[in-house]
Amino acid sequence: MCGIAGLMTRDGAPPPSAPLRAMEAALRHRGPDGVGHYRSADVGMVQTRLAIIDLATGAQPLYEPGGAALIANAEIYNYLELRTAFAEAPRPVVFSTQSDCELPLHLYRHYGLDFTRHLRGMYAIALHDPGTRRLLLTRDPFGIKPLYYAETPQGFAFASEPNALIEAGILAPKLVRRARDELVQMQFTTGRGTVFAGINRVLPGETVIVRQGRIVERQRVAALPQQGPLLVDEQEALARLDATLSDSVRLHQRADMPFGLFLSGGIDSTAVLAMMARLGARPVKAFTIGFADGAEDERPLARAAAAAVGAEYAEIAMGETDFWRLLPDIVSCMDDPAADYAIVPTWVLAQKARDAGIKVILSGEGGDELFAGYGRYRSILRPWWAGGRPPRARGILDDLGILRREITGWRDGIAAAEMLAGGEDRTPLQAAQAVDCTDWLPNDLLLKLDRCLMAHGTEGRTPFLDGELARLAFCLPDELKIRRGLGKWALRRWLGGHLPQAEPLARKRGFTVPVARWIARRAKTIGPLVARSPAIGELCHADAVVNLFAAAEQKRAGRAAWTLLFYALWHRRHIERATLPPDTEAALADPG
């Protein structure tokens, strides 16, 4: 994994070096193991490297005989199979390195813009082809790896993080209020546009073609098939799941550096644990987090599962003091904001994994979306009179009496995704899953994983988001996803046959961070500080915010208080551009 950035000028002049150096400095945390530079005609690119595969010869940029050059933030898991195919071709390819990222170059020369259809992995790639005078940016179908761009009068710029574009002076950090409204109502933002005016996302699965500093073409590969459910019984489904999960985890363990697992005690990460243990020659290194003040979590189940497979198990206890001390640093890394409280334990786990010498972490992201684990999916299957309702029907701040005016239009992005997610063959459950895979997954869960791990120079891998496994899971019959009031039925049944100590058919509490309790304990000091934030004052009545924080132990009030706390800190760091001290109260206080 790495950080990538670059420029293409509009007038054909060589790109200036100062913004390239600034972007390199801003992305150094993503790649502490080396730096690569590229300049040719009107294009300049930089890469900061986190060395995982081919430590000796895998430095970038990479080149191919036709003259194209590539930098990437990527892991191409099927690179060995692709190398074999090229070696056995009528005109064998001669490789310059052992790097997995050399393969996209040769695929591009062979297949043109369709080269990404042959990749199995996670990636954000920039490829310059001087022969055609075009720059290509492309991103994996689920959006596991981020990529952003800006079109300006001077030309085109791209980077792995928006902050790199801002630090380079390419654009000022101007807030987009439509995206702000999505953030405070849903905890994430949708679509191509970001919360920063003029900074956009390369969409998951998209390839963007740029000439003379302007986008001239777009292509996109879908992450999920349009088809409806497969006609398979449970026995056949479990056999296919076993084979496909085995293949995915095997590929995701390809690395020249130590790797481990984030183990929550839930179904998804425990299934990955079971398969890693089956495939591995050495004990799995598993990291679990819990909360020191007696909050309920799934540590006992994680502990039992780890013991059953002989894993090297590390358990971290996080407390309230850690939360208030670390939150400014955590928010500072979330330049593209996701107000998901799971950023807090993810940050702590990433720090502990790095301290243990682990540079690659597998995790269970994607399991809920593909196997239908969320309660909102079960709600979709119920009629309205039995409690069924559409997902995200009410915003986080709605009906709490705190808003200065009603926030309208915050659901437009999700509504657009819902319009596109249906189809003649897809079931309503599949449509809801597809909506989550369009925006919630890349712009919340995967964003959180990327930023928190890369802040510590650690790579996150997601076996459930392998294309082969994802297609199988998404196309399972609805009754193999939800049964007896339980989601992820097929995955539970598989886990029950391979690691019964995980108690997969028991109802889980889910992974909950006690942020509401921690906020309530400091409501008298934190509430007024948040209420005085100019960013919050634009949205909410100050007195009502103070009262909301005082009631934070109530479920809805607690979620809203956390969201406002996150947004106040985020705005202070990323819009006001203040440097936040390692203390939340000090970070929220007015400048001296």
Work out whether strand 312-318 and strand 360-362 pair parallel, antiparallel, or are unpaired.
unpaired
CATH C-level class of 2-220: alpha beta
* Per-residue H/E/C for 432-448: HHHHHHHHHHHHHHHHH
Tell me how far apart the alpha carbons of residues 481 and 475 are, in angstroms, rounded to a whole number. Answer: 10
Answer for the pair 545, 527: CB distance below 8 angstroms, yes or no.
Answer: yes
Query: Can you give the pLDDT at residue 130?
Result: 96
pTM above 0.75, yes or no: yes
- Chain centre distance of CA 309: 28
Q: Which of 539, 555, 574 has its CA nearest to residue 408?
A: 539
Give domain limits for the chain.
Answer: 2-220, 234-502, 515-588
Contacts of 588 (CB under 8 A, 6+ apart): 526, 529, 530, 533, 568, 569, 572
Long-range contacts of 484-490 (CB under 8 A, 24+ apart): 485/378, 487/368, 487/371, 487/372, 487/373, 487/374, 487/375, 487/377, 487/378, 488/267, 488/268, 488/367, 488/368, 488/371, 488/372, 488/373, 489/371, 490/234, 490/237, 490/238, 490/241, 490/371
Q: What is the dihedral of CA 168, 171, 174, 177, to 10 degrees?
A: -120
Query: Can you give the pLDDT at residue 120?
Result: 96
Query: Can you give the pLDDT at residue 54?
Result: 54
- pLDDT block averages, 10 residues each, the chain of length 592: 92 96 95 90 92 66 94 95 89 88 95 95 97 97 98 97 98 98 98 98 98 97 94 96 98 90 95 96 93 76 95 94 97 97 96 94 97 91 65 93 96 94 89 96 98 94 97 97 94 96 79 89 97 97 98 96 98 97 92 52
Q: What is the fold, at CATH topology level, of the domain defined by 234-502? A: Rossmann fold (3.40.50)
